[in-house]
Amino acid sequence: MPKFSLEKIVNAQRESVFEVFSNFENYQQLIPQHFPSVRIRSVRGDVSVVEEHLNFGELELLIMAKHVSKKPILHDIFVIGGDVKGSHIRQEFIELKNKTKILVDVDLKFKGKMKISSMFGKNTFEQDYGKILDDFAKIVEN
C-alpha cells in the first residue's frame, strides 16, 4: 500500500500553522475542493471523531477519522472506518525562525475495489496529498 513522506516550509509561526491544519471543523469552509463535507461525531479533549468526504486526486473517499492533537507539535489522523480504514497520517510541526517545517507521513490502506484500482491507477498519491498540503499552506500564509 502507498506510504510516503512530505516536507514543507511555511512562512508562519508554528501555532498558526498548527491551528489551521488541526482545525478539521473548518476544513469544509477552508478547502471545500478537498473536503466537501465534514461532520463532527465526538470531541473529548484532544481527541475527535469526524466523518469526512475527501476528494483525493481522482478518488472520492468517505471516511471516519480519529483526530488526535498534541498542540502545537503533532496532529495524527487515524482512519477508523470507511474507504481507507486502517490508514494513518501524521503531521509534525517544527518551529523555525519565523517559519514552520511540516513533516507529513502518510500510510494509505486501500480495501476491495479501491485496492485494485490503486494498484493499477496513476498512483499519484504523493502529488495529490502535496496539493492538499499546498492549499493548507496558502491559507496559513495569507
Domain of 134: which CATH number?
3.30.530.20
Asked whether the beta carbons of 67 and 48 are under 8 A apart, the reply is yes
From CA 94, how far away is CA 36, in angstroms rounded? 29
Global pTM reads 0.90
Mean pLDDT of 82-98: 96
pLDDT tens digits for range 29-81:
999 999 999 999 999 999 999 999 999 888 899 999 999 999 999 999 999 99
From CA 50, how far away is CA 40, in angstroms rounded? 4
**Enclosing domain of residue 136:** 3-141
Region at 42 (left for phi over 0; alpha for psi -120 to 50; beta for the rest):
beta
State the virtual CA torsion across 19, 59, 66, 25 in degrees, nearest 10.
Answer: 40
Q: In the chain, how many domains are there? A: 1
